[in-house]
């Protein structure tokens, strides 16, 4: 018994030492830091085409990736991409692992309370997928007791399932591909994702289809830490610029609205 | 059949790339973990006031929580303290985490091996005027090495397997590369997982066999002496290192 | 009292327990599922482990070799990979398993993973009973059943108890990986808090503390058993 008490006290002492006291981080602005170190560090995830994925040559590409590549080129710095699980993106950003998140992230009220989002670069449409032989036609068909619907842990699809499919049971997956995989394996009855990803998943898994109707529409933006005001305005300005000169539209057309990218990357 | 050969050729390069990273991470982990574990084990093996119980707390803390949770804590919680020293990049954080995880096992093995040497040898060495450090280096450690080596092999296999978990935070090691390739060939998920499993097997199995061989040989040399673990061949109890891989 | 305020502020800043309290129900659900998964896997892996141990000790070469291959394959591959294979690929082989609740799938994967370790423990336990005792029992005319019931099993059980508890502690920790296949376990509860409130400290530290508490309880149990069953195997060389 005494040994256990000792173990517990020792453990608490170790934990307290590990946590330590808080101290302020560096003083200069984050843009200076990026330019000085000559590296733009960006957190991304690998949720599959067309936002961020590994192409046939083993290179990372996609809509979000091509935008940050342009950003780094224009700043004249090296681009360092860090691949995370979806749920790990925000904690890692808050932990200072990289400068900002470039993913298909929606600025929800809860997230914006913690993070600083750029202006939206795109509006995505949330849709539902199901198995071809399920006999379902529209996303409302998933709103039944005993129906399992997959979404990404901590993502807005999970929120959408709870809001628009209240009768269904939510199953939270670590990533979009995992939920598509589980759907294809028959582990769940439906999965929510955005139209762009859904098109690519049904292209890959022959037994899946997209259900009729758009469930909800959401803006997508890049996110940085609350104190990175300079970087936020820089990103806003950047999206303004590439919207005006048409570069953003061309990227969205190539990656999202058409399947033109498949010829080059699949 | 041809289909499988095609898939195999398509996925193998990136899986091997993942394997090299797994290899690098596990080697760095065992080196770092052995270093920390060896130092802590030296201290713990000798009953030094304050330090021995503190190290005990460290071991319990590491052994009482899952590696996945440790990884999340090192990865997401420590940088959140605002201390810039704790804001590692992802690879450093993962390596640190694996080294700490490994050190908890190594510490217990080293201290156990030191304690397994009869007390009388220390007393004898002191009696002929040797200092503590000299006794350790010339008398105790040479005898402990054969006790340490087999267990260290088991720890290494445990570590290799634990590296698969770092895929969860996006390090593109073998398991992660497998997932990425499944995205390219979703229909062949079972086949791709089988290749990944085979690569792990080719890495771990020889180490396990080496451990068995070392255990047998070490056992023959000191057949009369007691073993540090009371259950040869099985997992050790809670208050002993759980190192059987 | 006043000097305590900054301390309290600091604690709430680092770890806001009020937010954790809001998630008490989720944590309770998570703990229940974690313990359920660990308990069920423990029972099932003991059964499968006994079977594997029997196969390995059997005189049938083929059965013994098959058991050996299974044990080595499981020992040489990561648990996470095994869980993924069972979760994502099993329905391809056995379509009926597609509709199993994910907790069952998790228990199945953990059982398949833990059984070989249990088999090794059980085997070493049976072999730990000194040959002379069995010969002695034979000499006084005991039947196989009597030998097993009165001589071998009680001692084997006492001898493997510490290893068994150690493996149980590992099993409890292994359940944490089930969160990755949508089982709502302890880690998933912490993850939910973290993703809804974006509070990594509150999410992950709570999970770590609860796991540690479960571990301390197991440690307590093992000390208790150690006293109750004190036998030759407990006289540790490291004392």
Distance from CA of A240 to the nearest CA of B (A): 31
Structure tokens at A42: 């960006």
Residue B192 has pLDDT above 90, yes or no: yes
* Beta-carbon separation of C125 and B68 below 8 A: no
Structure tokens at B87: 């804001």
Any domain includes A150: yes
* Beta-carbon separation of A110 and C191 below 8 A: no
Contacts 24+ apart (CB under 8 A), A193-196: A193/A126, A193/A127, A193/A129, A193/A151, A193/A152, A193/A157, A194/A104, A194/A124, A194/A125, A194/A126, A194/A127, A194/A218, A195/A124, A195/A125, A195/A126, A195/A127, A196/A49, A196/A50, A196/A51, A196/A63, A196/A104, A196/A124, A196/A255, A196/A256
Predicted pLDDT at B141 = 83
Mean pLDDT of C5-32: 86
Query: Is A224 found in the same domain as A212?
Result: no
Residue A1 has pLDDT above 70, yes or no: no
The domains found in chain C, sorted by start residue, are 32-195+209-230 (1.10.3720.10)
Among A residues 166-205, those touching chain B with beta carbons less than 8 Å apart: 174, 177, 180-181, 184-185, 204-205
Distance from CA of C200 to the nearest CA of A (A): 6
- Reported as type and span, the H/E element at residue B159 is helix B141-162
List chains touching A (3+ CB pairs under 8 A).
B, C
Residue A22: pLDDT band with limits 50, 70, 90: very low
Residue B228 has pLDDT above 70, yes or no: no
Residue A233 has pLDDT above 80, yes or no: yes
Residue A13 has pLDDT above 70, yes or no: no
Structure tokens at B192: 């791709």
Which chain A residues touch C89 with a CB distance below 8 Å? 185
Structure tokens at A78: 């090296």
Predicted pLDDT at B175 = 92
Q: Total structural domains in chain A?
A: 2
Any domain includes A21: no
Residue A253 has pLDDT above 60, yes or no: yes
Taking the C-alpha atoms of A107, A110, A112 and A115 in order, what is their torsion angle to the nearest 10 degrees? -110
Which chain B residues touch C211 with a CB distance below 8 Å? 64-66, 69
CATH number (domain holding residue A247): 3.40.190.10
* Beta-carbon separation of C191 and A154 below 8 A: yes
Query: Is A115 found in the same domain as A58?
Result: yes
Supply the Cα-derived Rg of chain A in whole angstroms: 21
Measure the CA–CA gap between C96 and A130, rounded to whole angstroms. Answer: 18
Boundaries of every domain in chain B = 2-221
Give residue-wise pLDDT tens across range A68-81: 999 999 999 999 99
Residue B227 has pLDDT above 90, yes or no: no
Which chain B residues touch A53 with a CB distance below 8 Å? 183
Query: Is A39 found in the same domain as A115?
Result: yes
Mean residue pLDDT across chain A: 86
Residue A232: pLDDT band with limits 50, 70, 90: very high
Residue B225 has pLDDT above 90, yes or no: no
Residue B15: pLDDT band with limits 50, 70, 90: very high
Among A residues 100-129, those touching chain B with beta carbons less than 8 Å apart: none
Query: Is A243 found in the same domain as A114?
Result: yes
Nearest CA among B82, B59, B79 for reference residue B71: B79
Query: Is A46 found in the same domain as A170?
Result: no
For residue B138, CA distances in Å to B37, B44, B122, B227 come to 20, 19, 11, 21
CB-nearest partner of B245 from C75, C124, C238: C75
* Beta-carbon separation of B69 and C78 below 8 A: no
Predicted pLDDT at B70 = 93
Query: Is A178 found in the same domain as A54?
Result: no
Predicted pLDDT at C230 = 63
Supply the Cα-derived Rg of chain C in whole angstroms: 23
Q: Do A195 and A124 touch, CB atoms closer than 8 A? A: yes
Coil, strand, or helix at residue A152? strand
* Beta-carbon separation of C162 and B65 below 8 A: no
* Beta-carbon separation of B237 and C166 below 8 A: yes
Report the largest interatomic distance among the alpha carbons of chain C, rounded to a whole angstrom. 79
Taking the C-alpha atoms of C32, C35, C37 and C38 in order, what is their torsion angle to the nearest 10 degrees? 180
The more confidently predicted of residues B83 and A192 is A192
A154: left (phi over 0), alpha (psi -120 to 50) or beta: left
- Residue B245: closest C-alpha in chain C: C75
Measure the CA–CA gap between C120 and B235, rounded to whole angstroms. Answer: 8
- Rounded to the nearest angstrom, the gap between the alpha carbon of residue B24 and the centroid of all alpha carbons in its chain is 14
What secondary structure does DSSP assign to B182-210, as a single string? HHH-GGGHHHHHHHHHHHHHHHHHHHHHH
Distance from CA of B63 to the nearest CA of C (A): 8
| Cis peptide, bond prior to residue A50, ω within 30 of zero | yes
Residue with tokens 């997956």: A173
Domain B2-221 is found in CATH 1.10.1380.10: no
Interface test with A, best of B17, B169, B173 (most A CBs within 10 A): B169
Nearest CA among B20, B162, B44 for reference residue B102: B162
Give residue-wise pLDDT tens across range B111-137: 888 888 888 888 888 888 888 888 888
CB pairs under 8 A between A and C: 67
Predicted pLDDT at C152 = 81
Give residue-wise pLDDT tens across range C45-96: 999 999 999 998 888 999 999 999 999 999 999 999 999 999 998 988 888 8
Which chain A residues touch C99 with a CB distance below 8 Å? 186
User: A37: Cβ–Cβ under 8 A, 6 or more apart, which residues?
Assistant: A77
Task: Give the residue ranges of DSSP H helices in chain A.
Answer: 2-19, 30-37, 63-75, 86-94, 109-112, 156-164, 176-184, 195-204, 229-244, 247-252, 260-265
Among C residues 32-71, those touching chain B with beta carbons less than 8 Å apart: none
Residue A19: pLDDT band with limits 50, 70, 90: low
CA atoms within 13 A on the CB side of C135: 3
Task: Give the residue ranges of DSSP H helices in A60-118.
Answer: 63-75, 86-94, 109-112
DSSP label of B68: H
* Beta-carbon separation of C211 and B65 below 8 A: yes
Query: Is A110 found in the same domain as A242?
Result: yes
Q: What are A54's strand-pairing partners?
A: A60
Among C residues 169-198, those touching chain B with beta carbons less than 8 Å apart: 169-170, 173-177, 179-180, 187, 190, 194
Mean pLDDT of C141-157: 83
Distance from CA of C89 to the nearest CA of B (A): 6
Kind of pairing, strands A216-225 and A100-105?
antiparallel
CB-nearest partner of C98 from A11, A95, A187: A187
Any domain includes A112: yes
List chains touching C (3+ CB pairs under 8 A).
A, B
- Residue B13: closest C-alpha in chain A: A58
The more confidently predicted of residues C107 and B121 is C107
Which chain B residues touch A12 with a CB distance below 8 Å? 57
Q: Which domain holds residue A212?
A: 124-217
Measure the CA–CA gap between B173 and B196, rounded to whole angstroms. Answer: 11
- Reported as type and span, the H/E element at residue A131 is strand A122-131
Any domain includes A7: no
Predicted pLDDT at C79 = 96
Query: Is A75 found in the same domain as A147?
Result: no
Distance from CA of C75 to the nearest CA of A (A): 26
Give residue-wise pLDDT tens across range A28-41: 788 999 999 999 99
């Amino acid at each position: 018994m005494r040994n256990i008490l000792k173990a517990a006290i020792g453990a608490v002492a170790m934990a307290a030492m590990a946590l330590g006291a808080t101290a302020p981080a560096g003083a200069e602005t984050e843009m200076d830091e990026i330019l000085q170190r000559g590296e733009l560090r960006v957190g991304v995830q690998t949720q599959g085409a067309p936002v961020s994925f590994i192409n046939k040559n083993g290179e990372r590409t996609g809509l979000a990736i091509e935008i940050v590549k342009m950003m780094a080129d224009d700043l004249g710095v090296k681009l360092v991409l860090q691949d995370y699980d979806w749920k790990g993106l925000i904690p890692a950003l808050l932990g200072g692992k990289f400068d900002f998140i470039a993913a298909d992230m929606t600025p929800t009220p809860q997230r914006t309370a913690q993070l600083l989002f750029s202006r939206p670069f795109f509006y995505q449409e949330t849709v539902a997928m199901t198995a071809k032989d399920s006999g379902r036609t529209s996303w409302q068909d998933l709103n039944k007791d005993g129906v399992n619907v997959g979404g990404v842990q901590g993502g807005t699809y999970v929120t959408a399932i709870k809001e628009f499919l209240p009768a269904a049971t939510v199953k939270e997956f670590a990533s979009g591909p995992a939920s598509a995989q589980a759907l294809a394996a028959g582990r769940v009855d439906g999965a929510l994702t955005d139209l762009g990803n859904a098109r690519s998943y049904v292209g890959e898994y022959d037994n899946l289809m997209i259900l009729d109707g758009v469930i909800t529409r959401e803006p997508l933006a890049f996110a940085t830490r609350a104190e990175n005001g300079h970087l936020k305005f820089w990103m806003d300005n950047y999206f303004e610029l590439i919207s005006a000169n048409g570069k953003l539209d061309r990227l969205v057309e190539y990656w999202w609205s058409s399947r033109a990218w498949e010829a080059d990357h699949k | 059949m041809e289909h499988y050969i095609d898939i195999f050729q398509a996925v193998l390069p990136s899986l091997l790339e993942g394997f090299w990273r797994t290899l690098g991470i596990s080697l760095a982990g065992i080196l770092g973990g052995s270093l920390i574990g060896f130092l802590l084990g030296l201290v713990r093996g000798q009953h030094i006031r304050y330090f021995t119980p503190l190290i005990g707390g460290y071991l319990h803390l590491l052994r009482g929580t899952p590696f996945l949770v440790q990884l999340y804590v090192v990865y997401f919680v420590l940088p959140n303290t605002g201390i810039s020293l704790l804001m590692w990049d992802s690879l450093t954080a993962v390596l640190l985490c694996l080294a700490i995880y490994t050190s908890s096992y190594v510490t217990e093995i080293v201290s156990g091996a030191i304690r397994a040497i009869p007390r009388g040898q220390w007393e004898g060495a002191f009696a002929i005027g040797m200092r503590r450090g000299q006794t350790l280096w010339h008398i105790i450690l040479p005898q402990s090495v054969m006790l340490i080596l087999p267990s260290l092999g088991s720890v290494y296999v445990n570590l290799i397997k634990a590296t698969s978990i770092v895929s969860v935070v996006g390090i593109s090691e073998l398991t992660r590369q497998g997932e990425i390739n499944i995205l390219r060939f979703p229909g062949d998920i079972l086949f791709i997982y089988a290749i990944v499993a085979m690569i792990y097997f080719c890495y771990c199995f020889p180490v396990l066999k080496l451990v068995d061989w070392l255990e047998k040989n070490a056992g023959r040399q000191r057949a009369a002496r007691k073993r540090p673990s009371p259950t040869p061949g099985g997992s050790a109890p809670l208050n002993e290192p759980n190192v059987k891989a | 009292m006043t000097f305590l305020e900054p301390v309290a502020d600091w604690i709430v800043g680092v770890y806001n327990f009020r937010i954790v309290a809001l998630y008490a129900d989720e944590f309770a659900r998570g703990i229940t599922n974690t313990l359920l998964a660990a308990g069920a896997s423990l029972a099932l892996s003991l059964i499968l482990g006994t079977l594997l141990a029997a196969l390995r000790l059997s005189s049938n070469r083929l059965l013994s070799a098959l058991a050996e291959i299974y044990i080595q394959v499981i020992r040489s591959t990561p648990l996470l990979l095994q869980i993924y294979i069972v979760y994502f690929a099993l329905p391809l082989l056995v379509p009926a398993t597609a509709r199993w609740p994910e907790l069952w799938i998790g228990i199945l994967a953990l059982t398949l993973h833990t059984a070989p370790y249990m088999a090794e423990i059980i085997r070493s336990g049976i072999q730990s009973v000194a040959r002379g005792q069995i010969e002695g029992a034979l000499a006084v005319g005991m039947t196989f059943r009597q030998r097993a019931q009165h001589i071998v099993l009680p001692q084997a059980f006492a001898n493997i108890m510490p290893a068994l508890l150690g493996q149980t502690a590992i099993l409890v920790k292994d359940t944490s990986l089930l969160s990755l296949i949508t089982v709502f376990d302890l880690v998933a509860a912490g993850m939910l808090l973290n993703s809804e409130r974006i509070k990594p400290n509150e999410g992950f530290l709570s999970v770590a503390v609860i796991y540690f508490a479960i571990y301390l309880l197991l440690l307590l149990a093992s000390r208790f058993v150690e006293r109750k069953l004190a036998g030759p195997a407990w006289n540790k060389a490291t004392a």
